[in-house]
Amino acid sequence: GTNLTGATQVLFGSNPATITSNTATQITATAPSGTGTVNVTVTTPGGTSNALPYTYTTVPAPTITSLAPPNGPTSGGNTVTITGTNLTGATQVLFGSNPATITSNTATQITATAPAGPPSAVNVTVTTAGGISNPLPYVYVSAPTVNSVSPQFGPSSGGNTVTITGSNLSLASAVHFGPNLGTALTVVSDSQLTVTAPPGTGTVVVTVTTPGGTSTVGLGNPYYTYLGAPVITTLVPNHGLASGGDSITIDGSNLTYTDSVTFGGVPASFTVFSDSVVVATAPAHAAGTVSVQLHTPAGNSNTLPFTYDPA
């Protein structure tokens, strides 16, 4: 307006407003509470101004009905979708006492970037001109860790069951063997889960993903090695005494992790010399020809015939 210098009072109806700035042509004031339509007037040493109408509108309080996801990492940074009613014009979203960054806002949905928080449950609330919403719980989850993998070896074809031990595993949603996703994930406890290994090659890092993030290599041993199936090519010699005791050199490939050697199903003692050589001591057996087979974590080898000579 005009001639507003030195305003001593601004009234909204009969209720005074708080004057925050004042020039000859403009006043800013904080409106007092009120209802309906009231007249606004300004009083200066020159008198009281004409009146202009100001209408108080009823803004309904916001309500929130769901959070998606309802949990996330302690580092924050994940996007949370808040669904509810009367959410238009949200001025603040709090996760506990920490403000989130609002990235989109409609009457029924807000998306916000969660702030960092301690590993605990906090209340999420939304503030609009209508007030503060009801709270909904949001859980900050610590990142998972992988301490050990058992067995640490398996066939390149996958399919074997692997037990993973660590911490913060309860909410595990995925286990990767290197870039490949494991299947049949079963959470046993917060410190243990089982999973079926996918196909793969070489030595890979096993990682677990939860709402708290994805595990990283720490002090444990999260490594898993894919092995080629064992193959045996020759037995030297390929016959021996029925009383046993002969030293038999077994040549082949993928033999490093040999864990058993059998002659006709009878276990033999053995020593692994390299990935291609295993030396076994033939056990006693009745005269005749039997099958020799090796086993590694990748499975059974093919068989080769070995003949026990009559006494």
The 10s digit of each residue's pLDDT in 112-141 is: 999 999 999 999 999 998 889 999 999 999
Please indicate, yes or no, if residue 124 is contained in any of the structural domains. Answer: yes
Please indicate, yes or no, if residue 175 is contained in any of the structural domains. Answer: yes
Contact 176/158 with Cβ under 8 angstroms?
Answer: no
Domain boundary pick from 122, 141, 160: 141
Q: How many helices (H) and strands (E) does the chain have?
A: 0, 36
Please indicate, yes or no, if residue 176 is contained in any of the structural domains. Answer: yes
CA pair distance 269, 275, nearest whole angstrom: 17
Residues 71 and 132 in one domain: yes
The arithmetic mean of pLDDT across residues 36-53, rounded, is 96
Contact 116/76 with Cβ under 8 angstroms?
Answer: yes
The 10s digit of each residue's pLDDT in 21-32 is: 999 999 999 999
For residue 57, the model assigns a pLDDT of 79
**Tokens at residue 199, please?**
């196909």
Per-residue b or e along 249-264, where b marks 16 or more CB atoms closer than 10 Å to that residue's CB: ebbbebbebbeebbbb
Question: 73: which strand partners?
Answer: 141
Residues 151 and 220 in one domain: yes
**Tokens at residue 129, please?**
């001109």
List the one residue out of 49, 51, 56 whose CA is nearest residue 39: 51
The 10s digit of each residue's pLDDT in 250-263 is: 999 999 999 999 99
**Tokens at residue 124, please?**
């999420």
For residue 129, the model assigns a pLDDT of 85
The 10s digit of each residue's pLDDT in 45-69 is: 999 999 999 988 788 999 999 999 9
Residue 278 has pLDDT above 80, yes or no: yes
Residues 182 and 194 in one domain: yes
Contact 291/308 with Cβ under 8 angstroms?
Answer: no
Please indicate, yes or no, if residue 160 is contained in any of the structural domains. Answer: yes
For residue 301, the model assigns a pLDDT of 96
Residues 153 and 221 in one domain: yes
Please indicate, yes or no, if residue 2 is contained in any of the structural domains. Answer: no
Chain Cα centroid distance, residue 210: 2
Residues 278 and 220 in one domain: no
**Tokens at residue 40, please?**
């606004």
| pLDDT, the chain, mean | 95
Residues 223 and 237 in one domain: no
Residues 109 and 162 in one domain: no
How many domains would you assign to the chain?
A: 4
Residues 80 and 154 in one domain: no
CA pair distance 63, 80, nearest whole angstrom: 16
Residues 176 and 219 in one domain: yes
Question: 203: which strand partners?
Answer: 225
CA pair distance 11, 224, nearest whole angstrom: 76
The 10s digit of each residue's pLDDT in 186-226 is: 999 999 999 999 999 999 999 999 999 999 988 789 999 99
Its domain, for residue 107, covers 63-141
Q: Supply the DSSP string of 247-280, one letter for each residue.
A: EEEEEEES-TT--EEEETTEEEEEEE-SSSEEEE
Please indicate, yes or no, if residue 3 is contained in any of the structural domains. Answer: no
Please indicate, yes or no, if residue 259 is contained in any of the structural domains. Answer: yes
Residues 14 and 68 in one domain: no
Contact 142/74 with Cβ under 8 angstroms?
Answer: yes
Please indicate, yes or no, if residue 4 is contained in any of the structural domains. Answer: no
Domain boundary pick from 211, 227, 243: 227
Residues 149 and 187 in one domain: yes
Q: Residue 263: which CATH number?
A: 2.60.40.10
